[in-house]
Amino acid sequence: MKIGFVGTGVMGRSMARNLMAAGHELHVYNRTKARAEELIAQGAIWHDSPGELARYVEVVITMVGYPHDVEEVYLGENGIIASARPGTYLIDMTTSSPRLAERIEREAAAKGCHALDAPVSGGDIGAREARLSIMVGGDRAAFDAMLPIFRAMGNNIVHQGPAGAGQNTKMCNQIAIASNMVGVCEALGYAMKAGLDPQQVMRSIETGAAGSWSLSNLGPRMLAGNFEPGFYVKHFIKDLGIALQSAEEMGFDMPGVRLARSLYEKLASLGEQDSGTQALFKLYS
């Protein structure tokens, strides 16, 4: 298929590359063209705007930064929905607002297009190895039609319900990670204060009840002083803000998420907003 990919950052670049490897013709746009040069060198076709790209493809996938970016690329005057041909599939894989996903689905349907919200989990490693967990909201028939596309990027692909359900599921994912990351940092920090070898401690605890993806995959990065982003601190703060806002609308209190966000905001104030989420360990080491 002819697929347009908007947003070729840390994760988007690998996701787009996997689509090319699966044999799809790839069209790309990124706010900073330099970040798309690697894909262009491998055969991707560059466009100067998301709207221009949307005119040439059957599927548009977006992986941008913030809800306001999603709103701009889809709903702007010369955005994706205004430019796409009827029948085009629009898949937003950004972690964004459930309510915005519902709005995009309505606007897309009015133009004869099919919109899905399909945020992902798995970080840079999952994106690179096509092992992402993909949580999808939207029409079931549209999901079924796009399943081969999703399978080129992930291996745990679940249709969660109508528009917005994918984003709400991703909020559940981020909520679970938030307190877990605090626990991982405190556990490894405690091990060091107690004079233990934290690598040995990890060997003992990661296969038991304390085990988690964050402990096994980000714990070694923390101990190695590797704080390069698989997922940015600034984007995690954004996600936790969306989760808290959505929870407030439902009358649901999440003290654990509030604590985690306050710690990440403190980390960002120290200049770590562009570090990976594992940089939270700097507050404990």
Q: Which residues are identified as catalytic?
A: 170
Contact call for residues 122 and 131 (beta carbons, < 8 A)? yes
- Residue 79: closest CA among 91, 67, 70: 70
Structure tokens belonging to residue 259: 């604590």
Q: What's the rounded Cα separation, in Å, for the pair 66 and 9?
A: 13
Contact call for residues 60 and 90 (beta carbons, < 8 A)? yes
The alpha-helical segments, DSSP class H, found in the chain are 10-21, 37-41, 50-54, 67-75, 80-83, 98-110, 123-128, 140-151, 165-193, 198-205, 213, 219-224, 233-250, 255-267
The half-sphere exposure of 105 on its side-chain side, counting CA atoms within 13 A, is 23
Contact call for residues 119 and 2 (beta carbons, < 8 A)? no
Q: What's the rounded Cα separation, in Å, for the pair 246 and 4?
A: 30
